[in-house]
Amino acid sequence: MRGLGTIFRRELKAYFATPVAYVFIVIYLVLNGIFTFYVGGFYERGQADLEPFFQFHPWLYMFLIPAISMRLWSEERKAGTLELLLTLPVSLAASVVGKFLAAWCFTAVALAGTFPMWLTVNYLGQPDNTVIAAGYVGSLLMAGGFLAIGSCISALTKNQVIAFVISFVICFAFNLSGFPMVIDLFSAWAPQAIVDVISSFSFLTHFNSILKGVLDVRDLIFFASLIAFWLYANVLAIEVNKSN
Amino acid sequence: METLIEVNGLSKNFGTLRAVDDVSLEVRRGEVLGFLGPNGAGKSTTMKMITGFLAPSAGHIRVAGFDIDTHPLEAKARIGYLPEGAPAYGEMTAAGFLDFIADVRGIARAHRAARIREVVEQIHLERVLEQRIETLSKGFKRRVGLAQAILHDPEILIMDEPTDGLDPNQKHEVRTLIQAMAPTKAILISTHILEEVDAVCTRAVIIAQGRLIFSGTPRELAARSRYHNAVTVIVATDAVEPARAALATLGEVETRGNGSDARLTLFAPPGENPAARARATLADAGVAAQELFIEHGHLDEVFRSITLSAGDSGEVHRT
């Protein structure tokens, strides 16, 4: 994986070289605040925890993460830098992982920006900080899953809008895959085993179980293998579709 | 000299379109191979395969002894590549971009700054180093691309239309740079500017509709011209008719007017000394020639005739 670090650093710097990073972080923090305090009823609940904060993350990420990931490969395609990148002595896998990690690191920065939330809840009461820590880890893992999906989709097109819309739809489906709107699509014709597998893909289910404060190995494996799968698909998508 | 680029039976299909069809070529150290052809002939596609961007549909490529398919990283490490249009990350400054390339190319941190400075001076990028690449003029963007390609002092340099979009001074600079690097490297440049072939290339290949239709030195290429060894005489306009009549006794004559004077080109049968005979014949006829010289051949005319005939008949010329 030679060159991975270099690709990672360039990519991460690229976020902050344009207004993208700042716009994203500000919007992310503002939306988090609105959801937590107004929709989630943080004060009204009278409980010292961050559940009203975390519970909206799957919905926030569903459209904010595709906004980050849409440019990952589409832009390389459009600007022609894909050709430059792939003729450098760096393996495609290293480029894919490097760019993904940069995007993930960037979302981690945005997530870290929510620390006043944690300060607030600790000021107001005595929350269980291990549960909060698990929430942060779960939120980051889920962001990674969405990012891997978005990165793969953005490798398929040079049009960022298309990359955004398709990623959004897939992220939405993954959020809801435990719910009737997705399950009903399959239950009519697919065997029960497949329907069970699909419903087990729900980000919501896995994230909610982490939010309870238990970092179950199965949830970790779920997100890790999901990321690995989509990044592998990402490599294939570029490999097969380079000349376009 | 050792062969650094070896291409054998290379083909590339895009769906039903055969973009490159059974192309073989080699470039040795010290050579500058000019890769010529009309737009869409398959030049860029061939270069993309040699540099490992596209996978060939058939054929083999060895770069510095490494098969690009089985040892892509070793091969890519030895290539400097300027893709068509000199793509670069627009949001980076020229300095930041070169630093990134140096890092990816594994240039040790200790030499990095010195090496970048050296290339920047060579390519005259000092003025724009701190500017974002997207704000640069086309000429400067192209030069950033060139700097990126030669930064690691590669043995093999592949450049897709390196002088496209440059002004005449910049073109001259780039050609001088290529000539200066030529003795130690194998260089492959694509172009459709024929004077460039004459100016920098030791050998030229022409590709049309994906097929290699000529391979030889620029001189051999010129020798295929109808004009090769023809005699051109420049006379005053009022002397055109007697001059033409006189020359017509020796062979076919072509006349081109040019304002105050006219050019007559004599295509004499080979094997004689056409210049001397033309001079004598004109003197006998009492025509004063302003100039009289033997043509080496017109590259553009050769280019047109062989690429068009290849298109019509699919016929393959080789030397």
Condensed to tens digits (0 to 9), the pLDDT of residues B107-127 reads 998 999 999 999 999 988 999
| Cross-chain residue pair B76–A91, CB shorter than 8 Å | no
Q: Looking at the partner chain, which of B79, B83, B90 has a beta carbon nearest the beta carbon of A83?
A: B83
Interchain CB contact of A34 with B (< 8 Å): no
Mean pLDDT of B12-18: 90
* Neighbouring residues of A62: CB distance < 8 A, sequence distance ≥ 6: A146, A168, A171, A172, A175
Class of residue A119 by CB neighbours under 10 A (exposed 0-12, middle 13-18, buried 19+): exposed
Q: Which residues pair with B265 in a beta bridge?
A: B232, B254
Residues of chain A neighbouring B53 (CB-CB closer than 8 A): 83, 86-87, 242
| A200 and A194 Cβ atoms separated by less than 8 Å | no
State whether residue B43 is helix, strand or coil.
helix
Class of residue A30 by CB neighbours under 10 A (exposed 0-12, middle 13-18, buried 19+): exposed
Q: Is the pLDDT of residue A138 over 90?
A: yes
- The answer, as to whether pTM is greater than 0.95, is no
Q: Name the helix (H) or strand (E) containing B198.
A: helix B194-200
Q: Calculate the average pLDDT of chain A.
A: 91
| Cross-chain residue pair B87–A80, CB shorter than 8 Å | yes
Q: Which residues pair with B30 in a beta bridge?
A: none
- What is the pLDDT at residue B88? 95
Please count the CA atoms within 13 angstroms of the CA of B79 that sit on its side-chain side. 37
The pLDDT confidence band at residue B193, using thresholds 50, 70 and 90, is: confident
Q: Compute chain A's Rg from CA coordinates.
A: 19
Tell me the per-residue pLDDT of B37-95, one tens digit each, with 9 for 90 and over: 888 889 999 999 999 999 999 999 999 999 999 999 999 999 999 999 999 999 999 99
Mean pLDDT of B143-172: 92
Residues of chain B neighbouring A79 (CB-CB closer than 8 A): 87, 89-90
Which phi and psi (to 5°) does residue B297 adopt?
120, 145
**How many helices (H) and strands (E) would you count in chain B?**
11, 14
Mean pLDDT of B287-298: 82
Q: Is the pLDDT of residue A45 over 90?
A: no
- B255 CB neighbour count, 10 Å cutoff: 14
Residues of chain B neighbouring A6 (CB-CB closer than 8 A): 100, 103-104
| B23 and B7 Cβ atoms separated by less than 8 Å | yes
User: What is the C-alpha to C-alpha distance for residues B94 and B151, in angstroms, rounded to an integer?
Assistant: 13
Which ranges of A80-191 would DSSP assign to H, the alpha helix?
81-86, 92-112, 115-124, 129-154, 160-176, 180-187
Separation in Å, CA of A230 to nearest CA in chain B: 22
Q: Is the pLDDT of residue B264 over 90?
A: no
Q: Looking at the partner chain, which of A17, A81, A243 has a beta carbon nearest the beta carbon of B87?
A: A81
Q: Is the pLDDT of residue A215 over 80?
A: yes
User: What is the C-alpha to C-alpha distance for residues A98 and A144, in angstroms, rounded to an integer?
Assistant: 13
- What is the pLDDT at residue A208? 86
The pLDDT confidence band at residue B257, using thresholds 50, 70 and 90, is: confident
User: What order do you get walking across the sheet with B32-36 strand by strand?
Assistant: B79-82, B156-160, B186-191, B32-36, B203-208, B211-216
Interchain CB contact of A3 with B (< 8 Å): yes
- What is the pLDDT at residue A184? 82
Among the listed residues B65, B29, B3, B68, the one whose alpha carbon sits nearest the alpha carbon of residue B186: B29
- What is the pLDDT at residue A244? 60
Tell me the per-residue pLDDT of A55-107, one tens digit each, with 9 for 90 and over: 899 999 999 999 999 999 999 999 999 999 999 999 999 999 999 999 999 99
* Amino acid code (one letter) for B82: L
Mean pLDDT of A204-214: 86
Q: Which pair of tokens denotes residue B126?
A: 């000092």
| Model ipTM value | 0.89
Of all residues in chain A, the one with the smallest CA distance to B145 is: A84
The pLDDT confidence band at residue B313, using thresholds 50, 70 and 90, is: very low
Q: Is the pLDDT of residue B162 over 70?
A: yes
User: What is the C-alpha to C-alpha distance for residues B73 and A241, in angstroms, rounded to an integer?
Assistant: 20
Q: Is the pLDDT of residue B165 over 90?
A: no
A131 or B273, higher pLDDT = A131
Beta strands B261-267 and B211-216: pairing type?
unpaired
- B172 CB neighbour count, 10 Å cutoff: 13
User: What order do you get walking across the sheet with B252-258 strand by strand?
Assistant: B252-258, B261-267, B231-236, B291-294
Q: Is the pLDDT of residue A41 over 50?
A: yes
Interchain CB contact of B104 with A (< 8 Å): yes
Mean pLDDT of B301-317: 66
Mean pLDDT of A19-23: 89
User: What is the C-alpha to C-alpha distance for residues B185 and B3, in angstroms, rounded to an integer?
Assistant: 10
Mean pLDDT of B209-231: 85
Interchain CB contact of B134 with A (< 8 Å): no
Beta strands B32-36 and B203-208: pairing type?
parallel
Residues of chain A neighbouring B54 (CB-CB closer than 8 A): 242-243
Angle between helices B138-150 and B168-181 (to 10 degrees): 10
Q: Looking at the partner chain, which of A14, A91, A242 has a beta carbon nearest the beta carbon of B53?
A: A242
- What is the pLDDT at residue B250? 82
Q: Is the pLDDT of residue B312 over 60?
A: no
Interchain CB contact of A2 with B (< 8 Å): yes
Q: Which pair of tokens denotes residue B218?
A: 């620029």
Among the listed residues B188, B175, B146, the one whose alpha carbon sits nearest the alpha carbon of residue B28: B188
Q: Is the pLDDT of residue B258 over 70?
A: no
B296 or B87, higher pLDDT = B87
- B260 CB neighbour count, 10 Å cutoff: 8
User: What is the C-alpha to C-alpha distance for residues A119 and A91, in angstroms, rounded to an integer?
Assistant: 43
Percentage of the residues of chain B whose pLDDT score is greater than 70: 95
Mean pLDDT of B23-49: 92
- What is the pLDDT at residue B198? 84
- What is the pLDDT at residue A23? 92
Percentage of the residues of chain A whose pLDDT score is greater than 90: 62
Interchain CB contact of A88 with B (< 8 Å): yes
The pLDDT confidence band at residue B316, using thresholds 50, 70 and 90, is: very low
Q: Looking at the partner chain, which of B52, B72, B87 has a beta carbon nearest the beta carbon of A84?
A: B87
Q: Calculate the average pLDDT of chain B.
A: 88
> B109-133 b/e with 16+ CB inside 10 Å = b?
eeebeebbeebbebbebeebbeebb
Q: Which pair of tokens denotes residue B219?
A: 């001189």
Q: Looking at the partner chain, which of B81, B88, B103 has a beta carbon nearest the beta carbon of A87?
A: B81
| B308 and B214 Cβ atoms separated by less than 8 Å | no
Angle between helices A4-17 and B94-104 (to 10 degrees): 160
- Collect contacts of A26-33 with beta carbons under 8 A, ≥24 apart: A27/A64, A28/A60, A28/A64, A28/A110, A28/A113, A29/A110, A29/A113, A29/A114, A31/A60, A31/A64, A32/A56, A32/A60, A32/A114, A32/A117
Interchain CB contact of A14 with B (< 8 Å): yes
Separation in Å, CA of B40 to nearest CA in chain A: 14
> A193-222 b/e with 16+ CB inside 10 Å = b?
eebeebbebbbbbbbbbbbebeeeeebeeb
Angle at B28 between CA B22 and CA B32, to 5 degrees: 90
* Chain centroid offset of residue A166 CA: 14
Q: Compute chain B's Rg from CA coordinates.
A: 24
State whether residue B78 is helix, strand or coil.
coil
